[in-house]
């Protein structure tokens, strides 16, 4: 039976969180037809993202109840608003019961956390909010991606590409992972080099991070208190 | 006046070609409100991509006749089919007259070529078809991105991220480019390392590349002959 890798869509995602691993795993599915990729949401309507691009899924949650893998993208305030999205959390919880891989990118790990899936797990998220994963019983880890049993979480935004290549390697081996990497020509050359974490002014992100939580959780005072205190 | 960076949409694009630089430049526009990002297409309808994700633009071509910058994503066969898409080529040609930046990702450079914009220019594309840019009067260059006057072309798929960060650096300087890079946490760690070009079996891509041109150009025998001979 074909194994479905399901990417979860909700309003206002950070679109590269989704599309980085989606491109990697779609290329993988062309190499290995025992896998297929789907994009799932509560309904089939067009949704906004954190850019002017609009997106629409291929399937509803109901159509894919038991995926082989699920991957939840993150976002700014909308990812925190999604912590109160019961149909989303219900599907994630149910799908995670039988899925072999339960993944997230960036603040998507907070959705896994709110679904109760990070209890006792090592996990990561965007560097600006990573430490808050502890509020869901997780051990926050400053790595590009973190594997703990079925749970596979990536750091911020672009980290989903690296995580997805690692997943291909795990599912199909090094040769296939190298073929996918070559196909999408992933030979990164950041023009100013890698991030210099020692020189970066991380504290300047704190007001942004606070505002992101307050905006996203405006309708969820209990969750806001849980994460802020 | 706000400067618009316009991403061009057409059916069947490779979605990471679009979303990589779109995410980078959307983050940039949040740092510098003298810029805004738009996604433009002939109409506003939902279009397919090379993955199960569907996408829709924010504006029509008519609504953004004179962008500051345009960036054309690539794709497999659909990018070559687009070489016969006259409304698309017309808009690209007109927009390029006044744009300060005329960009592409992956096989999007073939659309610039078909629009007559690569004559005498150094340019790049996906490694599998790059040499064919010579058929449009360009000098193909094996670099991650290539800048020649207003023309800014990126290599395959994921290279658009690097190219867009370089563009941010050019427009706003190193500090802003570093802030954007930090925000999207672009600190790449391909799990198997960078592409080992010497070890990669590039010739195995040749039948795929030939099939891509033949499928994409099935309705354009003259263009097919131009590129294949």
* Residue B80 contacts residue B50 (beta carbons within 8 Å): no
* pLDDT reported for residue B13: 98
Number of domain units in chain B: 1
Q: Which of A5, A72, A89, A106 is catalytic?
A: A106
Q: What is the mean pLDDT of chain B?
A: 97
* pLDDT reported for residue B76: 97
Residues 6+ apart with CB under 8 A from A189: B144, B162
Mean pLDDT of B121-125: 98
Give CA separation, B209 vs A12, A54, A187, B125, B201, in Å.
36, 30, 20, 13, 14
As annotated, the active-site residues of B are 106
* pLDDT reported for residue A116: 98
Strands across the sheet containing A54-56: A47-48, A54-56, B54-56, B47-48
Measured distance between the N- and C-terminal CA atoms of chain A, rounded to whole angstroms: 46
Range with the lowest mean pLDDT among A21-30, A200-209, B87-96, B189-198? Answer: A200-209
| A19 at interface of B, judged by CB pairs closer than 8 A | yes
Q: Does the beta-carbon distance from A185 to B126 stay under 8 Å?
A: yes
- Residue in A51, A188, A195 nearest the CB of B158: A188
Residues 6+ apart with CB under 8 A from A219: A81, A84
Q: Does the beta-carbon distance from A158 to B38 stay under 8 Å?
A: no
Q: Does the beta-carbon distance from A190 to B181 stay under 8 Å?
A: yes
| B188 at interface of A, judged by CB pairs closer than 8 A | yes
Residues 34-63 of B with CB under 8 A from A: 37-39, 46, 50-59
Pairing of strands B151-154, B145-148: antiparallel
Q: Please work out, in degrees rounded to the nearest 5, the angle formed at the alpha carbon of residue A175 by the alpha carbons of B205 and B128.
A: 20
* pLDDT reported for residue A205: 87
CATH number of residue B76's parent domain: 3.40.50.880
| B144 at interface of A, judged by CB pairs closer than 8 A | yes
| A180 at interface of B, judged by CB pairs closer than 8 A | no
| Alpha-carbon A186 to chain mean position | 19
| B186 at interface of A, judged by CB pairs closer than 8 A | yes
Residue B1 reports pLDDT greater than 90: no
Predicted model pTM: 0.97
- Residue in B7, B159, B184 nearest the CB of A16: B184
Alpha helices in B3-158 (DSSP H): 15-31, 77-81, 86-98, 108-114
Predicted-complex ipTM score: 0.97
Mean pLDDT of A170-184: 96
Residues of chain B contacting residue A181, judged by C-beta atoms under 8 Å apart: 190, 192, 195
For residue A1, what pLDDT band results from cuts at 50, 70 and 90?
confident
* Residue A180 contacts residue A27 (beta carbons within 8 Å): yes
* pLDDT reported for residue A204: 85
Residues 6+ apart with CB under 8 A from B17: B73, B74, B75, B105, B106, B108, B157, B160
For residue B218, what pLDDT band results from cuts at 50, 70 and 90?
very high
Residues 98-137 of A with CB under 8 A from B: 106, 126-127
Q: Does the beta-carbon distance from B55 to A56 stay under 8 Å?
A: yes
Q: Which two tokens stand for residue B57?
A: 């633009």
- Shortest Cα distance from A13 to chain B (angstroms)? 11
How far is residue B127's CA from residue B49's CA, in Å, rounded to a whole number?
A: 21
| A207 at interface of B, judged by CB pairs closer than 8 A | no
| B158 at interface of A, judged by CB pairs closer than 8 A | yes
Per-residue pLDDT tens digits for B60-111 = 999 999 999 999 999 999 999 999 999 999 999 999 999 999 999 999 999 9
Residue B189 reports pLDDT greater than 90: yes
* pLDDT reported for residue B205: 87
Per-residue pLDDT tens digits for B26-65 = 999 999 999 999 999 999 999 999 999 999 999 999 999 9
Per-residue pLDDT tens digits for A105-145 = 999 999 999 999 999 999 999 999 999 999 999 999 999 99
The whole domain housing A107 covers 3-188+196-228
Q: Which two tokens stand for residue A175?
A: 């040769």
Q: Which two tokens stand for residue A119?
A: 């209890």
Residue A229 reports pLDDT greater than 90: no
Give CA separation, A80 vs A96, A120, A203, A217, B161, in Å.
20, 21, 21, 6, 26
- Torsion sign (Cα): A110, A112, A114, A118: negative
3-state secondary structure chain A: CCEEEEEECCCCECHHHHHHHHHHHHHHHHHCCCEEEEEEECCCCCEEECCCCEEECCEEHHHCCCCCEEEECCCCHHHHHHHHCHHHHHHHHHHHHHCCEEEEECCHHHHHHHCCCCCCCEECCCCCCHHHHHHHCCEECCCCEEEECCEEEECCCCHHHHHHHHHHHHHHCHHHHHHHHHHCCCCCCCCCCCCCCCCCCHHHHHHHHHHHHHHHCCCCHHHHHHHHC
How far is residue B140's CA from residue A104's CA, in Å, rounded to a whole number?
A: 38
Looking at chain A, the whole-number percentage of residues with pLDDT higher than 90 is 97
How far is residue A81's CA from residue B129's CA, in Å, rounded to a whole number?
A: 44
* pLDDT reported for residue A46: 98
Residue B124 reports pLDDT greater than 90: yes
3-state secondary structure of B4: strand
- Residue in A14, A51, A191 nearest the CB of B165: A191
């Amino acid at each position: 039976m074909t194994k479905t890798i399901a990417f979860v869509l909700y309003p206002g995602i950070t679109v590269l969180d989704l599309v980085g691993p989606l491109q990697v795993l779609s290329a993988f599915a062309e190499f290995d037809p025992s896998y297929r990729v789907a994009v799932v949401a509560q309904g089939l309507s067009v949704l906004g993202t954190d850019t002017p691009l609009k997106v629409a899924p291929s399937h509803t949650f109901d159509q894919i109840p038991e995926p082989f893998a699920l991957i939840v993208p993150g976002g700014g305030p909308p990812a925190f608003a999604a912590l109160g999205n019961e149909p989303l959390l219900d599907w994630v919880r149910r799908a995670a019961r039988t899925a072999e891989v339960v993944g997230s990118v960036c603040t998507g790990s907070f959705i896994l956390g709110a679904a109760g899936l990070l209890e006792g797990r090592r996990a990561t998220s965007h560097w600006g909010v990573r430490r808050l994963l502890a509020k869901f019983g997780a051990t926050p880890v400053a790595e590009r991606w973190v594997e703990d049993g079925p749970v596979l979480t990536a750091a911020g935004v672009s980290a989903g590409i690296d995580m997805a290549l690692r997943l291909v390697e795990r599912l199909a081996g090094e040769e296939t992972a190298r073929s996918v990497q070559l196909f999408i020509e992933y030979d990164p050359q950041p023009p100013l080099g890698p991030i210099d974490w020692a020189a970066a002014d991380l504290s300047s992100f704190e007001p942004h991070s606070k505002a992101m939580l307050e905006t996203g959780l405006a309708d969820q005072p209990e969750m806001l208190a849980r994460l802020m205190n």
